[in-house]
Amino acid sequence: MPAGRRRTGSHHTKVPVRVVSYRTTAKAKPLSKQPSEPNLHPAVRPSRPQAPLHIPAPAAVVTAESIDITLPVPPSINHQYATVQGRRVLSSAGRTYKQHVGQQLWLALSQSPHKRALMHRIQSEPLALSIRFYFTSPLRRDVDGGLKIAQDALCEGIGLNDNRIVETHLYKDVDRTNPRIRISLSPAAP
- Which domains, ranges and CATH numbers included, belong to the chain? 60-187 (3.30.1330.70)
Q: How far apart are CA 176 and CA 65, in angstroms?
A: 32
Contact (Cβ atoms closer than 8 angstroms) between residue 131 and residue 169: yes
Q: How far apart are CA 50 and CA 156, in angstroms?
A: 30
Closest CA to 160 of 121, 109, 122: 122
Q: How far apart are CA 144 and CA 150, in angstroms?
A: 10
Q: Any residues with CB less than 8 A from the CB of 152 and at least 6 apart, and which?
A: 98, 162
- Residue 102: helix, strand or coil by DSSP? helix
> For the chain, which ranges sit under pLDDT 50?
20-24, 28, 31-32, 35, 38-42, 44-57
pLDDT, residue 12, reads: 57
pTM for the model = 0.65
pLDDT, residue 53, reads: 44
pLDDT, residue 49, reads: 46
What digits encode the pLDDT tens for the residues 158-176? 999 999 999 999 999 999 9
pLDDT, residue 54, reads: 46
Contact (Cβ atoms closer than 8 angstroms) between residue 118 and residue 62: yes
pLDDT, residue 57, reads: 47
Q: Any residues with CB less than 8 A from the CB of 7 and at least 6 apart, and which?
A: 1
Which uninterrupted H or E stretch holds 172? strand 165-174
pLDDT, residue 15, reads: 52
pLDDT, residue 90, reads: 82
Contact (Cβ atoms closer than 8 angstroms) between residue 168 and residue 147: yes
pLDDT, residue 134, reads: 93
pLDDT, residue 138, reads: 84
